[in-house]
Chain A
């Protein structure tokens, strides 16, 4: 620690802190533009100058480390003049267009101009001419306003990892440019608008729509991926204008999916009124009529319920209460991506926080497209690599992560048992075998060298294993996860709170789902199979869209054609055409509610927007339906009551709701210590493994309802079916139309190539003609 004096006040800060950070820690206001806590220091704006006693010149506080007994002055006459001059320099070429600039009212330059600037500039020479840039669908530019702080350049380099912004030219010809004259290819692009201290880079979709001071800010939790980032929803009245990063949140950025999904809030796909189908047409009606029709379809019937995991904890609990009260026999499922329903040795959810993962000695990604699925975690891992720390990745594709993990292996899903077995052998060789391991190994004759990377990483003191969708969706997932658990135990990672076992969930609230539905859940595949076999009278989809998401689209389409459907949700989407009744539930922006993210962090939203139609919070819809279906008592009539009921499943929640757990408390993930699943030994039927590709711009009903995300999805799309060029060559085929055969039939489709896909893998998008391929696990290719 270092003790110094800032404006005669004694302060103590960690050694090597910069003066600016010391000032910020102690509430001393030093103005700055280029400094950003998440970016490397550039020290170029020169606004943060301070004086240090005994130094001949003022010092830039952002790049000057504190020293013992240093005496810093932040408010002197010279500094006032210096700041005034920096403002004058910056405003030389800056237009006076605050009244038409979206940044106006929320602008560092404007604020400092009032605080530190002169009332009039003295520059009368010709002004600089600039050209605006095309930075893609999310960022609009007005480069005359640029003050060259290079925050955006550093962001592209250090955070996005794309490095596609830079500085050209020198002196006052200097300009920020997108080096390749191309759009910014980043899933984090939206942060640029927030990052830019002036109005040079602005949010394109919300540009010229509102003024900052008209907007109300609502703290909320993003549900677009399991990360559950803290966000601020900005609204004018009841209209969502944009979503921004919450500066008080746990992460430094939010991704474009979580940000631009707001377009869905006002889309035509929103369910805003109840509706029933009459003569083949969905017609708006009142709640009573819709509920009556729902009752006819559901009461005393054999029902299947598939719901989305991203409802609030209260909403999810209300589904369970509905089940227990009036639909005891109903089959309940929620995970559209799980084929193997046997219990997993460690269930979905992270045992570590993202910060702990970033700091671990070793991190291993096992089969996950983190950049698309968890872009903010990927960003942390990118930073980890930039700081020289190890990252190991084993999986079917390198997933264009904009970073180079030191250790990388491309494998097919069918190789996972051999990979794990290879790792087990290595541990055995150093005397860390176990009888359970022997039993597991006995079932797997093959060995895959990628296992060495896994075993090597596991030898570290703290190793974070991130198990992704390639394993979670595997037909033999329980055996693979058991195998990984055995490996971790042998390597000394005994079970503890943050023991490195991280199974990346598909959606939010994984821990809640384990606790509330663990005993009654069934697989989506099983449920749809029962429906197809005529064992179900009706289907209720609660926010779930099995046509667009998950691994069961083909079965779901067949079922929806034959079984009556009650749709409950906030987005109609493609499910609407099958719905017999629609009950509108409120969007996540419109409810008070509790959300648990993959780390188990709990967030309570308590300042919702008002509903814009007749939609109601899911729990109210569920309770009303319970009543309609003949319950004598409605299980909960208030949010408080509902939370008490939720605490029955999760006793720690009582403390959470009583405010006795801090913001850092994390709900533990479920473990199944006795789940001993051995590899099946069953080889896939066909030569190529199918890996379903996740697109952050396309997956999820919300994303599909957002025109902005659709546009980005098209812009950044890869061919729908991808294989390694070697795979095609071995089959004597060329890039282009091919016949793809699976257990469910043949389709002819364009097959593209990429060298970063594992050989022997068919990497497929969930859309268009290739959409249903995700329902299968293996395929073969031949020429047309």
Chain B
């Protein structure tokens, strides 16, 4: 894939191919495409990329991405600051925001505890979360972490550190996906759904 005729093209391919999900062949295609763009288009792209680095911050409060030192969710007075939803990373904030079901604020951990991968509690923003709750007690903390062994470990760790300061520590429900058939649900999930069954009346009134 190395072209003998242009060191500039080679360099461009090399840099583009460092991006996730992009191989050298796609990198070549993108490089050739970029070369054919108008000057103004290239400048717009370059400026967008460079502002991503220079002007995009992580929120001082919740570690979400933000244009300002504190993000628009944390500064929004209409949101319930007594309700904190703990998530693994920024993609989870985007996913939960898309549901329009949540009016509290977030706390982004930046990962989950997994000593095998060298991620201990100190690598995450957990200290900051505990400090926030210590200084400013809240009504409820929702743990919205992956339903894996690592996610559970992180849940337990957080619970141990905040349970005496927060009225309610809750975790997202585990069970059958909406619109799914029982027969296609795996045994473990179905078993959990039965153990964690909900009262029909409350479930019905909440959904409608």
A and B interact: no
